Structure 1
Amino acid sequence: MSPKNRASWLPAPKSATNVVESAPYTSPTTNELVIKTKAIALNPADVVIQQLGVLIQHYPAILGCDVAGEVVEVDPSLADRYELGNRVIGTASCLDTRDGKYCYAGFQEYVVLKAPQIAKIPVDVSYQDAVVLPLGILASASSLFAVGTLALSIPDAAKPPHGGGGLGKTVVVWGASSSVGSCGVQLAAQAGYEVIGVASGKNHQMVKSLGAAACFDQNDPSIVDSMLSYLQGKQVEGAFCSIASDSALDTLSEILDRSEGRKLVASVIPGAETKGSKGVTIVTNLKLDVHDTQYMEPVWKWLNQAMVEKKVKYAPPPEVVGNGLEAVQEGVDLLAKGVSAKKLVVLV
């Protein structure tokens, strides 16, 4: 008999409140497994979809992008990699459905996860710490490494990290203390790029701890001149903007236009392609196949190994806002008010 599942349902477009009710339990198919959810991390996408009623095709719907939990069912295709009882994190998705069921969405007790976007949690790492990573890894990897975005070199799990800008190339990450930006800093630094982070001054120490060689304050009125001075003589491979900010895109365009190197910004924001200026092109990761194994497979292979070898930090740090699916809406409402350098988490 299948387990009884429950979910935090969004009843209708722009509904202000989720409703916790029963939900179907779905078994895995090829390259899939099912987890019993232990922790859920909340993301700006959850706020945007709920408030604006975008992207979702049918209601009631289940949202949620980040989950951690215990493996309870494994398709034979993954039996050589995972077994019952494994503790894992994975990227959930409310945009993928099967037979009209939101089995891949995160705001429920049993979630189907797809390989390769799954990683085992080391025994000394908690669910609430580990769950801050999945969507950040997905969004930053697709912005940094896909052929349609910056197409940077990917960290190699089989080799020691270059670190310290060993490749002799520089990348700018704007929004470096956000959940996506934090992962972007780590991935680019581990791949051997010199990472220049842009974030609020109070978060610079955290960003540097993730591998950034230098940080600049996004609120500094002289940031353009300061960054141009620092970047003089460097081989700039482009920039990654991980936050929704037209002013950030404008500033990055000016900086790249006046620097040596690529005039390219990767963004995670819908419509950003139309906002390039001063000869700088802006691309987004939104139309990419996030299941493209060409770059996702090596990224998640690296993540599995990096977690074991403690080469990755669980950042930004989690802040637990409640227990149980009933706390999801409270967490989404708190996130909508704005947070800085932390990720809101619900324990299940």
Structure 2
Amino acid sequence: MLRFSLVAAVSVWAGAGVADVPRVATDIAPVHSLVSQVMEGVGAPDLILRPGASPHDYALRPSEARALQSADIVVWVGEALTPWMSKPLESLSPDAQKLELMEVEGTVLHDFRDLSEQEEEHGREEDHHEHDEHTDAHGHDHEGADPHVWLDPANARVWLTHIADALSELDPDNAPLYRKNAQAARDRLAGLEGDLAKRLSAMQGVGYISFHDAYQYFEKRFALEPVGTISLSDASTPGPARLAALRDRVAGSGVRCAFSEPQFDTRLFQAAIDGEPVKTYELDPLGVGLEPGAGLYPALLEKMAASFEACAKGE
């Protein structure tokens, strides 16, 4: 029997056999959105990570653990984003499938970068010290591939195909609908990507800083160039030397904007841009302020683009 989603997602049952519909669990809201698009007219996936929570360090609620354990397939970004999911996934039923999106063929991957290399020498030693402490405290480091892969819409288009294929294997009766939905979603995303490229052309050459370096997939897709970040990661707190180095870099560099995130304290921005004519805007890489479901992923991209557009226009 198909369980209701953990979030208020609407399922449309277009004559599908309920007993045959796979039980699907997803990690974060953007992935849940992509799977929801493929499953439209058949069922709805479960969202494991509640909106607003950090994907890097999370304790499952009992209801979330049950949804994960009873899944026929789990679609997740990968261990680099949610290391805490590895252990629960090991105890899944032997018949349960796992689709790790970072491992999907055709996915564009970028290695972690350290924007502090562009900052003054006196901030570097503390940056690396903070980096090492983060590695020890959270059991993962910032080497290898950056896991914020969903922020490149080209990756999402690749994944839609693989999600449809995986669901079709589990549920052959609904395979034509899964594949039709995936194609429609790919077409919509391709159109959106072209539209965003035109809109974001005004940001090329505009200097900005962000809270942490989570956006390189979006930035490289749309030719945006950050000057620096407040924090090396969303799990570390910048120290005085790093903030001083960033202030030096911002001063006189033409930085126009600073981008915060919903879950972080904007006072750090004030310390980094003190005395500079820099406006603050918000970027939301997880869709915290959006309603979970099929529409969240395109809405997330639109909302991020709107923040960059506002920066370019000085609004």
TM-score bin, normalised by smaller chain: 0.3 to 0.5
TM-score normalised by structure 1 residue count: 0.32
TM-score normalised by structure 2 residue count: 0.35
Higher helix share: 2
